[in-house]
Chain A
Amino acid sequence: MIIMITRARVSGCFGSPVVAGAVLVLCAIGAAALTGALLSLLGAALEPGMRALLALVAASAVAAGAVTRPVPWQLDRETDTDWLSYEDWRTAAFNGFALGLGFTTRIGFWLFYLVPLTAFAVADPILGAAGYAAFAVSRVGGSALLAAADIWIDGGIVRARVVADLIAGLALGALLTALVPLL
């Protein structure tokens, strides 16, 4: 994140790391809001019963995966390193866009799937966009703040994965309860 923001600084346009960070976060929010709205529109295009059924099947598959696999189904990669070589606004914008979508890079935690799943289930584009945008703010905004504070969590991934995946089991159970009455 520090590298992304540093490389995104260019004289005359984005000389400030604050502006570069803002571009990163805003692009992430834009990409997330668009994705959430599209998923909600997809859900709204279906009959409520069919939508709930599809969401239940997906939630059940994710729940089964969360129980049996420590690492979620994911694209095992980071953002394109070529984007760092631009060293201008595109570095921040492209990385922000990819990180805001969430699924184009390593997701790390099963809980992530609750974000697109619930955006689909609520079938309300405004709500779907707002929810996915909350993810982007938390994900990319948090990273930008951590980069600013230059904090490094030693071994945090292992500890966080255990806790987050257990929360995923709890949350997916609650989601199943919320979806069953819709059938």
Chain B
Amino acid sequence: MGGLASKPLFRMALAMPLAGLGVLAGHQAGVRPWALLVTAALIVGLAQQTLP
């Protein structure tokens, strides 16, 4: 999964629909920047626990 996930084409194929979903979800939910800030802050902080 790690090797495949580093391939640009694979990443693009996965990320583009997700980004589109994000646009749709943001539009439907009326997402505010501050809500994203807090969510991203918590997610990235937790994800960074795995940094070597």
Binding site for B on A (CB under 8 A): 63, 66-70, 106-109, 111-112, 114-115, 118-119, 121-122, 124, 127-128, 130-132, 134-143, 146, 153, 155-167, 169-179
Given A121-B33, A142-B48, output 12 extra A-B contacts at Cβ < 8 Å.
A67-B11, A68-B11, A127-B37, A130-B38, A131-B34, A131-B41, A138-B45, A158-B5, A173-B19, A174-B25, A178-B32, A178-B36
B22 touching A177, Cβ below 8 Å: yes
B49 touching A108, Cβ below 8 Å: no
Chain A residues, Cβ within 8 Å of B6: 70
Chain B residues, Cβ within 8 Å of A157: 50-52
**By DSSP majority rule, is chain A's interface helix, strand, loop, or mixed?**
helix
Chain B 4-20: CB-based contact to A (< 8 A → 1; otherwise 0): 01101001101110111
Chain B residues, Cβ within 8 Å of A140: 45
Chain B residues, Cβ within 8 Å of A137: 45
Chain B residues, Cβ within 8 Å of A165: 11, 15
Q: For residue A108, which residue of chain B has the nearest CB?
A: B51
Binding site for A on B (CB under 8 A): 1-2, 5-6, 8, 11-12, 14-16, 18-27, 29, 31-34, 36-52
Q: For residue B39, which residue of chain A has the nearest CB?
A: A171
Q: Knowing A162-B2, A170-B25, say if A115 contacts B44 (CB, 8 Å).
A: yes
Q: Which of B12, B16, B22 has the most CB of A within 10 A?
A: B22
Chain B residues, Cβ within 8 Å of A170: 18-19, 21-22, 25
Pull 8 A–B residue pairs with CB atoms less than 8 Å apart, ordered by A.
A67-B11, A114-B37, A127-B37, A139-B44, A141-B45, A157-B50, A160-B49, A171-B22
Q: For residue A138, which residue of chain B has the nearest CB?
A: B45
